[in-house]
Amino acid sequence: MLLLHGWMDTGTTFRLLAHALGAECHCLAPDWRGFGRSDRAPGGYWFADYLADLEALLDELAPDQAVTLVGHSMGGNVAGLYAGVRPQRVRRLVSIEGFGLAASDPREAPERYARWLESLRWPPRPRRFNDYAALAEHLLRRQPGLTRERAEALAHDWAYRSVDGVYLRGDSAHKRPNPVLYRLEEAMACWRRITAPVLWVYGANSAYVARLRALGDWAERTGCFRDFREASIPEAGHAVHYEQPQALARLIGPFLSAP
């Protein structure tokens, strides 16, 4: 089972979920390029590269068998696209709050390209925290479902100390605007090709899901899948996997063995 983290996150944030799933689940949680302890990409970051990285990883780890993909946010979006492009390589798919973005308007393209060009003029500045405690407080404000103990552990996993403070283990170049608009129709075309059973999981208090539902196309998105189920986890926001890892594991376990 591959656990695929989200944007500006690291594979270590799946630690609690991996423990909750138990020893019978062989979990691997890599860091995407430019995140965590993986190397940075000097040429910048393009979304399709994540699919290529995932394929290279599967070629090495499971060249002759289908695997279960569990992805959060960006990782869920990568996993969903890959499962449609390479349906024979995915046995089951769990997407945690990785259900795509709002459909883009092509008229936004000129301004988006302009913003991207402007961002190339100066190196992106990483966010600095005074210490790990300050980062833990930041996590608690963003994810109210976290306990302080979990926030402090995540802060140490997620960041490193430098001479002038604490910084996230992620390349700040990721924060540049993407010059390519999100194309929902392309994502849905990939989703329709998925043959694996799919489980969408979201936090009951997730602002991301609230915005997505307000778009009015939730049923159209979920209707893309041949074998689909969805589940909401109470007292969780966007970061379900480290806000409510035990509850998430109780959903994933039966899904893995379901017909």
- Whole-number pLDDT of residue 4: 99
Would residue 7 count as lying in a domain?
Answer: yes
What percent of the chain clears pLDDT 90, i.e. is strictly above it? 89
Please write the tens of the pLDDT for every residue from 199-246: 999 999 999 999 999 999 999 999 999 999 999 999 999 999 999 999
Nearest-angstrom CA–CA distance, 221 and 213: 10
Q: What is the mean pLDDT of residues 145-151?
A: 89
Question: Does residue 154 form part of some domain?
Answer: no
Supply 48's token pair.
């399709």
At residue 176, the pLDDT reads 92
65 Cβ contact list (under 8 Å, min separation 6):
none
Per-residue pLDDT band for 29 (boundaries 50, 70, 90) equals: very high
Is there a domain that residue 62 lies in? yes
DSSP 238: S
Considering the domain boundaries, does residue 112 fall inside one? no
* Least confident segment among 116-120, 125-129, 181-185: 125-129
pLDDT confidence band for 123 (50 / 70 / 90)? confident
In a domain, 10, yes or no: yes
pLDDT score, position 145? 81
CATH number of the structural domain spanning residue 96: 3.40.50.1820
Q: How far apart are CA 218 and CA 81, in angstroms?
A: 17
Q: Give dist(CA 48, CA 234) in Å, integer.
A: 33
- What pLDDT does residue 128 have? 94
pTM: 0.94
- Taking residue 33's Cβ as centre, other Cβ atoms within 10 Å add up to 17
Total domain count, the chain = 1
Q: Specify if 155 maps to a domain.
A: no
Give the mean pLDDT of 50-54.
97
State mean pLDDT over 62-89: 98
Question: Does 259 score more than 80 pLDDT?
Answer: no
Q: Taking residues 178-200, what's their average pLDDT?
A: 97
Query: What share of the chain in percent tops pLDDT 70?
Result: 100
Q: Answer yes or no: is 113 within a domain.
A: no
187: left (phi over 0), alpha (psi -120 to 50) or beta: alpha
Structural domain for 31, as ranges: 2-103+182-257
Residue 143: is its pLDDT beyond 90?
A: no
Asked if the structure places residue 240 within a domain, the reply is: yes
pLDDT of residue 142: 87
